[in-house]
Structure 1
Amino acid sequence: MSRVLIVGAGGVSQVVVHKCAQVPEVFSEICLASRTLSKCERIAAQLDRPIRTAQVDADNVAEMVALIRDFKPDLVVNVALPYQDLHIMDACLETGVDYLDTANYEPIDEAKFEYKWQWAYQERFREKGLMALLGSGFDPGVTNVFCAHAQKHHFDEIHQLDIIDCNAGDHGKHFATNFNPEINIREVTARGRYWERGEWVETDPLAWSMSYDFPEGIGPKKCYLMYHEELESLVLNLKGIKRARFWMTFSDNYLKHLEVLGNVGMTRIDPVQYKGCEIVPLQFLKALLPDPASLGPDTKGRTCIGCLMKGVKDGREKQVYVYNICDHQDAYREVQSQAVSYTTGVPAMIGAMMMLTGKWRGEGVFNMEQFDPDPFMEKLNLHGLPWKEVIF
């Protein structure tokens, strides 16, 4: 029986709250907090059990500390913006509470995806006997656990890793993003980066592509090489890794809109002056685009996210593909969110469950692949994200 404070009230948070509420034997009391109280109250009204709601500015450490001391949670689940990670970690350190998030910290003025800022908290969390679990979403998150599962059960060494993320859904909009538009567009327009024989290799944004034939009727889709933060920890924690890449599918329509918006400066993250006011073009664009949380009723199709791994076992070459397929409409029927939010929110709940039940424990800052994958993989099957594996 544990108390959990969930910070943030967007599409992913909606899933996390629903899924935590479904497991009262672990999450006995829930508090949902956000800068906008009405968003918390809207989510709370969807549930079959009462939860507490609160208003908090996650950038304000003093406000976070006051809320934590008032509610007294056993764990803080951060599903707010990545810019706010360090402030929430500071509040957890000050109050002596464990921490979990789904995405690594990003400086607000630069699209830079690195764990160095959060890894720097290692000694501070360890000295206080606290645990911080980073990236407990799908990618990062489940993909890290898929790799740990394969390393434990299938390989002596994993030499090649390709994480392949396909959203084969359609929301019917001319242009919309399936999660926070600001974070999504910063990620997609950043330079590509992959690991090759002991060093990072950079590419121009979306300059590399391949076709991949996805299972269970989804079929061939064009995938683009990107940089994704889970690669940074995986290349440190996988035995024998020689090459690690991340791929994501995009429709031609999405890429054409993104190209035009970039050409006219709407994806810039530096401030510009307009009629005496300072605005950030990408933040203004975010205000114009559909809220990802509103896309659920109209989104149809499936996602497929998995890890294709090649390596050796007992001296023989081996290839394993571990993946999940999630249906947008099934997700909406259960938690009133589309599958992109669902595939991030469910693993956040499971990661919290691992910590609160003692299945995963440690002192310091950890990435997902550093723990035993078996209990997490078991819970994926029980809580809405069943996985399959193909051995070649």
Structure 2
Amino acid sequence: MAHVLIIGAGGVGSVVAHKCAQVPSVFSQISLASRTKCKCDAIAASVMARTGIDIATFALDADRVADSVALIDQLKPDLLLNVALPYQDLALMDACLKTGVDYLDTANYEPPDEAKFEYKWQWAYRQPFEKASLTALLGSGFDPGVTNVFCAWAQKHHFDEIHELDIIDCNAGDHGQHFATNFNPEINIREITQRGRYWEHGEWVETDPLSWSMTYDFPEGIGPKKCFLMYHEELESLVLHLKGLKRARFWMTFSEQYLTHLRVLENVGMTRIDPVDYNGTPVVPLQFLKAVLPEPASLGPLTTGRTCIGCLLKGIKDGRQKQLYIYNICNHEDAYREVGSQAISYTTGVPAMIGAMMMLTGAWKRPGVWHMEQFDPDPFMAALNQHGLPWQAIEP
């Protein structure tokens, strides 16, 4: 029985709140805080209507460490579950250190003024968290998160060495909008427009943004889709923890319509993250674009189709070559019926809840700062099947 404080009231925060409420044997008390309290109140009302569980809501500016410390001291939660913006990771980790509370997030820290996805800033907290006997679990979403656990499970049960890893993320859904992002537009576009990067024979190799592509035939009737090579943060930790790894890449599908709109927006400067002067007022173009695009949470009732996210692994078992494909398929409409959100939010929010459950039950509990693949994957894999993200493992 534990108290969780969820920070962030976007689409993922909504899923996390709903899924925590479905497991009252672990999450006996749930609090939800965000800069915009009315968003928290709307989520709490939905959770009450669906589960009968009451959630306490609070206004919080998570950029301000003192404000977070005051709220934590008031509530005394057992765990802070961060699904706010990645810019706020370090401030919330500081607040956890000051108050003696364990920490979990779904995305690595990113400096606001540069689209740079690295764990170095959070890795610097290893010794302070260890010294305080606190656990920080990084990247407990789907990718990163479940993909890390898929790799750890494969390494534990199916391979002596994993030589090649391709993480392949497909959204085969359709929301009917000309251009919209399925999670925070600012974070999404910063991620997509950065240079690609992959691991090859012990070093990082860079590519121009979205310049490499392949076609992958996804299972269960989804079929062939064009996928583009990107850099994604889970690669940075996985290359340290998978035995024998020679190559690691991340791929994501995008429709031609999405890419056409994105190219136009880039060409006219709307994806810039540096401020420009508009009649004496500094405006960040990407933040303005975010304000005029559809709110990702509003896409839930509009989205149909499925996602398919998985890991294609090649390596050695008992001296023989082996391939394994581990994947999950999630239906947008099923997710919306269950928790009122589309599958992109669902596939991130469910693992955040499961990661919190692993920590609060003691299954994953160790002082320091850790990645998902550094813990026993078996209880997490079992929980995925139990809580809405069933997986398959096949040998192609």
The 1-side partners of 2:395 and 2:304 are apart by 30
Three-state SS of the structure 1 residue aligned to 2:198 is strand
TM-score by length of 1: 1.00
- 1:223-238 aligned at under 5 Å gives the runs 223-238=227-242
Question: What residue is the counterpart of 1:149 in the other structure?
Answer: 153
Q: CA deviation at 1:268?
A: 0.1
Question: What residue is the counterpart of 1:134 in the other structure?
Answer: 138
Three-state SS of the structure 2 residue aligned to 1:46 is helix
Three-state SS of the structure 2 residue aligned to 1:132 is strand
- Does residue 336 of the first structure (1) align with residue 361 of the second (2)? no
Q: CA deviation at 1:355?
A: 0.2
Question: What residue is the counterpart of 1:356 in the other structure?
Answer: 360
The 1-side partners of 2:172 and 2:40 are apart by 30
Question: What residue is the counterpart of 1:20 in the other structure?
Answer: 20
Q: CA deviation at 1:100?
A: 0.0
Three-state SS of the structure 1 residue aligned to 2:46 is coil
Question: What residue is the counterpart of 2:387 in the other structure?
Answer: 383
- 1:1-392 aligned at under 5 Å gives the runs 1-47=1-47, 48-392=52-396
Q: Deviations over 1:158-197 (max 9, x none)?
A: 0000000000000000000000000000000000000000
Detail structure 1 runs of 4+ shifted over 4 Å in the superposition. none
Q: CA deviation at 1:359?
A: 0.5
Q: CA deviation at 1:51?
A: 1.1
Three-state SS of the structure 2 residue aligned to 1:295 is helix
Q: Deviations over 1:68-117 (max 9, x none)?
A: 00000000000000000000000000000000000000000000000000
The 2-side partners of 1:157 and 1:138 are apart by 23
**Root-mean-square deviation (CA), in Å?**
0.4
Three-state SS of the structure 1 residue aligned to 2:269 is coil
The 2-side partners of 1:11 and 1:370 are apart by 28
Q: CA deviation at 1:276?
A: 0.5
The 2-side partners of 1:24 and 1:342 are apart by 19
Structure 1: segments with no counterpart, 5+ residues = none
Three-state SS of the structure 2 residue aligned to 1:344 is helix
Three-state SS of the structure 1 residue aligned to 2:369 is strand
| Number of equivalenced pairs | 392
Three-state SS of the structure 1 residue aligned to 2:127 is helix
Q: CA deviation at 1:391?
A: 1.7
Q: Which residue type is aligned with residue 156 of structure 1? A: D
Q: CA deviation at 1:252?
A: 0.1
Q: Which residue type is aligned with residue 151 of structure 2? A: C
The 2-side partners of 1:367 and 1:257 are apart by 35
Three-state SS of the structure 1 residue aligned to 2:290 is helix
The 2-side partners of 1:129 and 1:312 are apart by 38
Q: CA deviation at 1:293?
A: 0.2
TM-score by length of 2: 0.99
Q: Which residue type is aligned with residue 342 of structure 2? A: Q
Identity over aligned pairs, percent:
77
Q: Which residue type is aligned with residue 38 of structure 1? A: C
The 2-side partners of 1:130 and 1:10 are apart by 27
Structure 2: segments with no counterpart, 5+ residues = none
The 1-side partners of 2:276 and 2:175 are apart by 32
The 2-side partners of 1:256 and 1:176 are apart by 12
The 1-side partners of 2:15 and 2:138 are apart by 18
The 2-side partners of 1:178 and 1:40 are apart by 20
Q: Deviations over 1:314-353 (max 9, x none)?
A: 1100000000000000000000000000000000000000
The 1-side partners of 2:366 and 2:245 are apart by 25
Q: Which residue type is aligned with residue 10 of structure 1? A: G
The 2-side partners of 1:71 and 1:293 are apart by 27
